[in-house]
Every structure is written in structure tokens, then in C-alpha cells.
Structure 1
Amino acid sequence: MIRKVFPNRNVALLFYGQLISHIGDSLYLIGLMWLVLELTGSKAAMGIVAMISYLPMLLFGMFAGILVDLVDRRRVMLASDLLRAITVGLLAVTLGLEATTLGVIFVVSFALSTFSTVFNPARDALLPELVEREQLLRANALMQVSHYAAMLLGPALGAALLGSLGLIHLFTFDALSFVASFFALTLLRTKVSARIQIGAEVLRGHFMEMVRYIHHDQRLRFMLGLTAINNFFIMGPALVGTPIFVKEVLQRGAASYALVESALGFGMLAGAFVTNLASRYMNKGRILLVGIIGDGLTYAAIYFCHSLEALMALVALHAVAIPMIVVPRTALVQEWVGPEHRGRVFSLLNVAVVGMTAISNAAAGWLAERMSSAALFGIFGVFATLCGVVGWGYARLRNA
């Protein structure tokens, strides 16, 4: 059965490690945003915490890609998991000691994101070394399924933990999930890269090489720019707007917020199968652009939402579009970029996604103090839709 689902043992190990880790991540995000809302009652504070959680990608993302291209990628991932387990564990300890302050949350959020900055580009750059080229789309889809399944299972588990054990054990579980991922990575069978001395001149040289590489590839430049702009209009409402909408518009609590996040996971999981089906009839570029348009339209529709059930349905539909964006975009980068540049390009892609998310979160928190969360979804959703329409006009991406 495993051989039918997974291309090989390494991909299976990576899948299960990521599944457990992503479940922990979903618990952490639910716990973090609700903790800030309960601790401060400030929408702006939520925006700042969410921004800080993604700020390291803006600051260190491109240099993380250089690191990933210069040293053994599996070792980078192992170090990242270990440091993240310690960081989240410390937050659980401060919560247990009733010593958690907004300052502690700022530090933990920044540190956790810093250690995560190298993990995703290392994983995405390592994956083509684990499978044949014709298996890349399938392997990428499996990595996304691990995330989407976790988004379905994690919030359901979170709702149960919130009801019985409280916020603290959302963070405890997340810390343990990084330990599980660490042990899965130790079992991977990969070639160990030679250790390379890294200095300031080496980093600058590799950075400039990446800039020149991107500059000469118009397809990459356009896709990275489109990704950055689209994420500005999507991620702020998703991370900051959703808990505010649940609490203020729907007058519901943390358990209802967890249910909405579970609907997101259900939609993502369904979207992975939709993406696989669509790949039989459409090229990667068109799947990506249809996903961006659907992503925006479903968020714009939340403006008209007045019940938890309607919100869950719209969020699930919105989530179907997410793998339609992520899976083909990742596969296109893996096809377009050679192995010697892949880590740096994936880091730049993560800067476009996660870095712009930091700005979007801050903007959403500021705007939520001045307009309703429903209006925030409506306005940002319209502009996100326009990103897909503009992208459709670029033939080299549409026909990729």
C-alpha cells in the first residue's frame, strides 16, 4: 500500500514527519492568535504578532537559500526542527508559570520563524534529489497533502484540547511534533553534502549570482512578483481577520475558530485531489492562475457571510484553491531551476510568500481597527482576484 501511495521510503518518511509537524503548527497558530486576543483585546497587537511571525523571512530569507545551497540540506532541516522544539517548549513553560507577556510572545514568534526560514527551502530543494523528475508533481502533492490533512486534523484536535486541557497544551503538542519530525529526518537515506566554509564574501557572491539568475528569467520574475502581490491581499485577512470575524461578527469563541480552521484543512485536502484531477486536462500555469482567481473570489464572498456554517463553507471553498496554487507553482520552479540554484530560488519564493505575509498581517491589523473584518475580506478578496486576471494575460505563465 505504501509503495502505491509514495514514490519511495524517503518520501514516506518525509510525509509522515511533516504531517505530525504540520498538525503541531496548526495548533500553535490557533493558540497564538487566540492567546494574543485574550491577553490584549487589541486587533493591532494581533497584526503585530502575526507580522513578527513572518518578519524573519523578509530579513533572512534570501541568505537562508544561499545556506541551503552550500551545506547539507538534511542537516539544516534537523537543526531547524530541534531549535523550534526548544522555542515552542519555552512558550509552554512561561504559560504554565503564568509569566507569558506580549514581549515573550514577540520573542518566541520571531525566534520560531527565524528557525523555520531555512526549513521549507531546504525541504523543497531536497525533494528533487529523492524522486525522479516525472514523480515531482506527485511528490509535491504529497507534501501539500501532509499540510492539508494536518489543517483538518489539527484544529479538531485543538478544539478538544481547548475544552479539556487549555491553551498551554496546544504549544506542548507543537513542541513534541518538531521532535517527531526530527526523528523522521534522521531515518532519511541521502548523500551527505561536503561541508563548506561560509564567509561574508561567499554569501555576497552567491547572493549576487541569485539576483543575476532571476533577472535573466522573465518567467520567474513575473511569477515571484505575482505571488508576492497576491499574498499581500490574502494572508492578512486569513490570519488576522478570521479570528476577529469569528469573535466580533459571529459572536463565537475559540472552539468555533478552531472549527473554521478545520474547514480550511478539509478544503485543502479536497483541493489536492482537485489539483491532481485538473493536471490531466490543464497545464501547470493554468491550474495556478485558476487557483489564484478562485482564492480571491471566495474571500470576497465572506463580506456577505452571517453564520458560522456559511463561513466554514466559504473557507472550505477558498481552501480548495490553495493547492491549485502551491503545487503547480512549486513544480514549475523545480522544473525551471537547476539544482545549483534551487535552494536560493525557493528561499526567494518563500520571501515572496511569507515575507509579504508579514506586511499583510500588519496592514490587516491596522485596517481592522478602522473597518469591519467583513469589509476587510471583501476589499482584499477583490484585489486578490484581479491578481489572477492579470496573471492570465501573461502567456508564458498561462501556457507553462
Structure 2
Amino acid sequence: MSPGPGGDSAPASQTTTTATTSPRVSTFASLRVRNYRIHYVGSAISNTGTWMQRIAQDWLVHELTGSAAAVGVTTAMQFLPMLLFGLYGGVLADRFDKRRLLLATQSVLGLTGLALAALTLSGAVNVYHVYALALAVGLATVVDNPARQTFVSEIVGPRLLRNAVSLNSANFQSARLVGPAVAGVVITTVGSGWAFLYNGLSFLAPVLGLLMMRTAELTPAERAPRAKGQLREGLRYVGSRPELLWPITLIGFVGTFGYNFPIWLVAFTDQVFHADAGTYGLLTSLMAVGSVTGALIAARRGSRRLRFTVAAAALFGALLMVAALAPAFLVFAALMPVVGVVAMTFQVTVNAGVQLASDPAMRGRVVSLMMMVFVGGTPFGGPLMGWLSDEFGARTGLLAGGAICAAASVAVALVLARIGGLRLRISLRAGRRGVALVPRDPEELTAPA
């Protein structure tokens, strides 16, 4: 059981060696829960529209400006509110009824899609309209994200939480497989405006789903009372627990510098492969194939160690660097599913692990902090990676992002090893692992720093 807000954290020596355990369940176990089935179907419809809008929005900005940096600015506008106000969204998620919060936020997100559709179809759209509506989406997401993430535990309970988080990721990534492919066809045949229109209308599905749920079958967490200092309390809670602090730190680096796929794929499509929106949609869909696979594999896992999470981040960074040096389109395209598998494995492992390690009364604030550093760094990482891609080429931008992710994972691994009383051993002897983490000698543990 995780310690409460005022409890002691786990012993440091257990941080890197103790796995979060739960009984193995079938891949689709959560779908046996009626409320979750409704939630899943509604999410599938709106997620498809969301991915259609992402592709159409990025391509529209690129058409209006001809700049990868402008695509980065659009992404930054969408995620800047999470950086500035993310923790407040977590406080609201802990304090209020999550279902009612989601009814409001999902309605707002649908209206922004309809507004962008009207501007585009009328021919009045300019890049500042896109920036403004991306900012509006970001403001709604500040509340929507922690409420939606933590609402899952109220639908399925703690036993199926890891499974439901994984299926939600598979749902989102399946839409990522379908949405970009459909968006590519829609953009090239009738224009971006129709993709925005579908996205706006698609939010009717989750809104109706929330209204159809049987509230008596939900298991709501105890709400946090209104009080002063709740933001500081959440930060102190995470800071006192290495099993929360360091995965959140790592996902912040990876999210800021590694999850800039719209920028890099647009840049590679245009600068390196000299192709159109259809190729951009294809590359995004190929990555989604791997992401769906990674999420479904994660749905069956009962436990994972922190070292697995760190290793997944390191492998992700290495794969980005390999993709940056891909000599031909076919090689680059073949790497996208592999990148997707590793990226999703890392993301699901962090998400489920952080939620399971958090006290229910603090979960909204913990998740909001995780999402704040995960997507809130995009206002810095997005424009930076876009500028590098514009100034020095798409390959340089992708190579830099991968190198930063790999370096961050190595740094976090060394910190966790020190907290856990481990050291790095490099051996050239036959029959022994060449590189391994082993317990430090007693003399090292007792020696003064």
C-alpha cells in the first residue's frame, strides 16, 4: 500500500529493486466493466477526431507559413497552459466530481474543433487563429487531463487500473493509426476544414457516454477538501518519494525533447523525402502501429521495475538517433513502428506506476504534475527542436532530441542506483554480464561523502 500524504516514503534501498505487483489479468479485462466499455467507445470516436485535427492542424500551419518552427509554436501554444497551470488542474480533479468536470471540458474541446472548421471552410483562417484555438484547447486540457486520467480508477478500481491505463493508451494509439491516414486523404481531397469538423462533432460521443454511465457503479475516491497549500502539499508529497520523483523527472525530459514527432515528421517529409501530406500521415500511422502493440503488451503485465522504465527511455533515445541517420525512406519508415513500441512501453509504465504508487487523495495532483512536466515542456522543446530542424536540417534536430533523452536516462539511472545502494560494474570476464548494477561494498556505503 502506498503511504498517505503524511506518511513516510519507502526506504531508499527498495526504490530500484521493488516492483509494483498486481495479479496478471487478461489483455481486455477492463472491457468487462460496463461503464468502462462506454468510456472506451466514446474515447475511440473522439480520439480519431483528435488525431485527424492534429495532422490537419500541423499541415495547415505548414501551408500557411512554410516553417517547421511555426508548427512548433502551434504545439507550444497548445501545451503552454499545462506548464503554467497544470497543478491547478490536479487540485480541481482531487476536489470536484471528475465526471462533471469531464462533461464541461469535453464540450469545450468539441467547440474549439467546430470553430476551427468554420474558419477554415470559410477561407478566413490565418495562423493566429490556429494559435488562439490551440491555446484554448490547452486551457481545457489543463483540467481535462488529470480528471480523465484519474477517472479511470473510479471506473475500474485499483485491481484493473494498470490494465485500463494500457487499454486507454491502445485506444488512443489505434486512433493515431486510423486518424492520420484518414486525415491525409481528407486534406488532399477536400481540405483541412472537414477534418476539423469531424473532430468537433466527435466529442458528442464521450459527452453522451458520460451521461449514460451508471454512477452507482463508480467507486469515487475521497475528495480533497478545499484548503490552503494544496499545491505545495502535492509537490512535497512527490519530492519525498523517489518512486514518484524520478520517473516524473525522466518523463519530463523525454516529453520535452523526445516527443516532438509532429515537428520532425513534417520536417523529414518536406526537407528529406520531398513528399506531401499523405506521406506525413503514413509515417505517423506506422509509428502508431508500434504504439498500439506496445500498449497491448503492457495491458498484460502485472509488474515492472523502475530499471525497466529507465532502460525503455534509454532505448527510445537511441532509436531516435538511429532514425536520424537512416539513409533512405524505407529504412526510416521501418524504424517508426519500433520507435512506437518503445515510446508507448515507456509512457504506459510511467503512467500506471505513478498512479499505483500514489495515495488516492493525492492522485490528481501527482498525475497533473506528471502531465505538466511531460507535455508542459513542449513550449520549450517544440520550438527548440523546430528551430534546430529549420537551421541545421531535420536529421540534426532528431539526433539532438534522441541524444538528450538517452543522456537523461543514464543520469536518472545513476541517481537511482546511488539511492538504492548500487554501483555500476563493468566486467570483461567470460561468463559474466559485461555491464551490470550490483550492490556496493559495505565500506563504500559507510564511507563519508
Q: Do the structures match in fold with TM over 0.5?
A: yes
CA deviation map 1:233-260 (0-9, x unaligned): 2023x12121011111100001110001
8 Å contact kept, 1:155–1:258: yes
> Does 1:388 find its partner at 2:412?
no
Hey, what does 2:13 align to over in structure 1? none
Hey, what does 2:288 align to over in structure 1? 265
Q: What displacement does 1:197 show?
A: 12
Indicate which of 117, 129, 132 corresponds to 2:154: 129
Indicate which of 247, 254, 265 corresponds to 2:270: 247
Q: What displacement does 1:5 show?
A: 6.1
> Does 1:366 find its partner at 2:355?
no
8 Å contact kept, 1:284–1:329: no
Hey, what does 1:31 align to over in structure 2? 56
Rounded Cα–Cα distance in structure 1 between residues aligned with 2:309 and 2:31 = 24
> Does 1:294 find its partner at 2:318?
no
Q: What displacement does 1:67 show?
A: 0.6
Count of paired positions: 393
Rounded Cα–Cα distance in structure 2 between residues aligned with 1:4 and 1:271 = 17
Rounded Cα–Cα distance in structure 2 between residues aligned with 1:247 and 1:179 = 35
User: Which stretch of structure 1 is more off in the superposition, 242-251 or 293-302?
Assistant: 293-302
Indicate which of 284, 301, 310 corresponds to 2:331: 310
**1:160-171 mapped onto 2 (5 Å cutoff):** 160-171=185-196
Rounded Cα–Cα distance in structure 2 between residues aligned with 1:215 and 1:391 = 15
> Does 1:180 find its partner at 2:205?
yes
Q: Which runs of 5+ in 1 are unaligned?
A: none
Rounded Cα–Cα distance in structure 1 between residues aligned with 2:140 and 2:397 = 31
CA deviation map 1:283-321 (0-9, x unaligned): 242432232122111111122224333222112110001
For the pair shown, the structure with the greater C-alpha radius of gyration is: 2
How much is the aligned-residue C-alpha RMSD, in angstroms? 2.6
Rounded Cα–Cα distance in structure 1 between residues aligned with 2:46 and 2:375 = 18
Q: TM-score, normalised by structure 2?
A: 0.82
Rounded Cα–Cα distance in structure 1 between residues aligned with 2:28 and 2:386 = 46
8 Å contact kept, 2:249–2:373: yes
Hey, what does 1:90 align to over in structure 2? 115
Rounded Cα–Cα distance in structure 1 between residues aligned with 2:50 and 2:331 = 25
SS of the residue corresponding to residue 359 of structure 2 reads: coil
**1:1-400 mapped onto 2 (5 Å cutoff):** 6-190=31-215, 202=226, 204-236=228-260, 238-276=261-299, 279=301, 283-393=304-414, 394-395=416-417
Moved over 6 A (4+): 396-399
Rounded Cα–Cα distance in structure 2 between residues aligned with 1:159 and 1:102 = 20
Q: What displacement does 1:265 show?
A: 1.1
Q: What displacement does 1:11 show?
A: 1.4
SS of the residue corresponding to residue 98 of structure 1 reads: coil
Rounded Cα–Cα distance in structure 2 between residues aligned with 1:355 and 1:293 = 21
Question: Counterpart amino acid of 2:92?
Answer: L
CA 1:305–1:111: 2 relative to 1, 3 Å: same
Rounded Cα–Cα distance in structure 2 between residues aligned with 1:180 and 1:354 = 25
8 Å contact kept, 1:60–1:117: yes
8 Å contact kept, 1:10–1:188: yes
Question: Counterpart amino acid of 2:247?
Answer: M
Task: Indicate the structure with greater helix content.
Answer: 1
Q: TM-score, normalised by structure 1?
A: 0.91
Rounded Cα–Cα distance in structure 1 between residues aligned with 2:388 and 2:284 = 22
8 Å contact kept, 2:265–2:284: no
SS of the residue corresponding to residue 118 of structure 1 reads: helix
CA deviation map 1:163-199 (0-9, x unaligned): 33221111111111212121112122235979x999x
Rounded Cα–Cα distance in structure 1 between residues aligned with 2:126 and 2:336 = 31
8 Å contact kept, 1:275–1:287: no
